[in-house]
Amino acid sequence: AQTTITVAAGNNPADPVINKYIYSHFAEHLGRGIYGGFYVGDTSKIPNTNGVRNDVIAALKKMKIPSLRWPGGCFADTYHWKDGIGPKDKRPAIVNKWWGNAIEDNSFGTHDFLNMCELLGADPYMAGNVGSGSVQELADWVQYTTSDNKNPMSDLRRANGREKPWNVKFWGVGNEAWGCGGNMTPEYYVNEFRKYSTFMGNGNIFRVASGANVADYHWTETLMKGIPKGLIEGIALHSYSFVEWDKKGPATGFSEEQYFRTMKSALFMDSLIINHSKIMDKYDPNKKIALVVDEWGGWYDVEPNTNPGFLFQQNSMRDAMIAGATLNIFNNHADRVRMANLAQCINVLQSVILTDKDKMILTPTYHVMEMYNVHQDATLLPLTIKSDDYTFGTGKLPAISASASRDKNGVIHISLVNIDPNHVQKLALNLSGEKFKGVTGRVLASAKVGDYNSFAQPEKVKPEVFKGASVKGEVINISMPTASVVVLTLN
Ligand code: AHR
């Protein structure tokens, strides 16, 4: 058998643009995500710019990070932003109650984050505190960061050394309001949202409601029904991939069964988006409100001998499979999914970067994000796929995942994932009459799906030139290695 993919390559005005923000990231005050990950302080021997590691800045710029969500996560609903402004030695220390009771000295605050976003060329996405904050506190934060007028908050910003406002468009109105954000019912949260959102203003601002936990469709329905159109621009969704919540298993050295079940849970994202979108379509048929998947990724047991509250895990080719397949799902739903944030950027959960003091490594997930950046702001080309199966025991999953786009220069890119760790897959790709001279590509593969980059072997997994594609008439024949990610460019 063979997988066949047909790409509708014509210029159809109805094809949506793949919003670059689908490729966004998330950085919480959690473990070594901020401290030691992004930020080492400006007195550190590790080369830095205003305390932010230069190696990290260069890597994230190369990957083309479009947006970064901060400061949480659960931490956001305990965070009082005024603790993190002004002279660093005057900032209060607090206990980070969600994450290992670590002492948070607030040395990385609003200015540090927003200036860092400018260095990265990434648009900030701030998560406001609804759980333990106040409407006034969040409205003040918006004014402090975005107002150019004369008012108490912009005056305070100027007094703290920043004359011009930053460009902060994206705001989360709380996080996981159904859980760590306050254990609210959706009916209660709707009213909270309406109140907060009203006082945040509606200028150049994009307000994201705290969204459903995985398949909680009642949550989405209640929000869509209860929040007036002019108050909301996006609604969130959180869904992680794991074997079982209470028995996650290791990040490396996992069994094939654990691999299969993780992939099954990752591919469930497609059904989730379809079902949440159906509800959204009922109330918002013109798709004005975006679905923002602002937490996704693989979640495993922490590495042995590390703080369980720090969520530090290695990152293997399994994570590359999750990233490649999930990003294809997001691309293919670009009409509704207009932002997504991988959890989390550095040293926490499914990271793109791991650091150890002055050392930094790029994970297989980083390489997928970097290879896929060709899709950012390109036009989606819908495709139909008849895939072979990857079978394990009595279970089966489609072996191949794919998405395609045409960029602003007219160049077509196709991203493919073969999640089958045991079989090379033969694919026939049909471009429905599109003229092209040849095809080039890059591949991310390794002998085993459990392979990963370590500080001892930082380049075990890295992209190579792909030689497995050949053109025959109008068809591209492809041979995909086991457990691999390929991105093709049509010339
Ligand atoms: O990403 C880790 C945690 O997972 C976040 O803080 C929270 O929003 C989610 O439950």
Does the beta carbon of 74 sit less than 6 angstroms from any atom of ligand 1? yes
**Which option is the CATH number for 18-377: 3.30.200.20, 3.20.20.80, 3.40.630.10, 3.40.190.80?**
3.20.20.80
Residue found by looking up tokens 């530090």 in the block: 312
> What values do phi and psi take at 120, rounded to 5?
-80, -15
Distance CA 249, CA 18 (A): 34
Ligand 1 site, residue 243, Cβ cutoff 6 A: no
73 CA from centroid of ligand 1 (Å): 5
Ligand 1 center to 84 CA (angstroms): 21
Q: Each residue of 187-200: pLDDT tens digit?
A: 999 999 999 999 99
Residue 295 in contact with ligand 1 by CB distance below 6 A? yes
Q: Which tokens belong to 479?
A: 């041979």
Q: Tokens 């994201």 — which residue?
A: 208
State the complex-level ipTM. Answer: 0.99
Take atom 2 of ligand 1 and give the residue whose Cα is closest.
73
Identity at 439, one-letter amino acid code: V
Domain 383-490, CATH among 1.10.10.10, 3.40.50.1580, 2.60.40.1180, 3.40.50.1400:
2.60.40.1180
- Is residue 264 pLDDT above 80, yes or no? yes
Is the pLDDT reported for residue 433 higher than 90? no
Q: Quick one: DSSP state of residue 92?
A: P
Distance of alpha carbon 88 from its chain centroid, rounded? Answer: 30
Q: What phi-psi label fits residue 393: left (phi over 0), alpha (psi between -120 and 50 degrees) or beta?
A: left
Domain boundaries, the chain: 18-377, 383-490
Q: Residue 251 — very low, low, confident or very high, per pLDDT cuts 50/70/90?
A: very high
The model's pTM? 0.98
Pair 343, 387: CB distance under 8 Å: no
Please determine, for residue 1, whether its predicted confidence score (pLDDT) is greater than 70.
no
E runs forming strands in 314-398: 337-343, 353-356, 359-362, 379-381, 383-386, 389-392, 395-398
Q: What are phi and psi of 92, to 5 degrees?
A: -75, 150
Enter the tokens of residue 434.
């599109």
Give the residue whose CA is nearest to atom 3 of ligand 1: 73
What is the percentage of the chain residues whose pLDDT exceeds 90?
Answer: 96
Amino acid 435: pLDDT: 85
Query: What integer is the mean pLDDT of 206-220?
Result: 98
pLDDT band at 437 (very low <50, low <70, confident <90, very high): confident
pLDDT one-digit tens code per residue, 454-475: 999 999 999 999 999 999 888 9
Q: Whose CA is nearest to atom 4 of ligand 1?
A: 73
Q: What is the pLDDT of residue 66?
A: 98
